[in-house]
Structure 1
Amino acid sequence: MPVGTERSIVTGIDGSRSAGNAAIWASDEAAKRGLPLRLVHVFTIPVVKMPGWSPRSKGSVRVSRAAVGHGFPR
């Protein structure tokens, strides 16, 4: 299969409640269809150093872990 044509379920996450709901829905769909789940998060690296800034949004990481655990329990 050519690169980029693999079927998967994709949703964007940003740490919001709506994104969390979308991630849970996507997780369920991926599990039902036997497809990979891809959670996408985009961030901008600031030009100046900001105290306490991290490229990993705590909200997005939490939502990702919860969604993956919801649809794909260990």
Structure 2
Amino acid sequence: MEVRIGVRDVGREVTFESAQTPAAVRESVTEALSSGSSVLELQDEKGQTIIVPTATIAYVEIGVQEKGRVGFGTH
């Protein structure tokens, strides 16, 4: 599942693939923002940790988990 984090005053997004469920990512983001935590900490699908200061978060887009695709066609 793809996660994109917009950072204030930065032209590029932080984008990564996460093995976590959309609900787990949403819970982590909500907890970090509502608790007054200074950072949002998430893991990508390779186990690397992504840390973003909560004060600089403009938005977070949480993608849906994709089912495995079969075939070569595109829609």
TM range (shorter): 0.3 to 0.5
Indicate the structure with greater helix content.
1
Higher strand share: 2
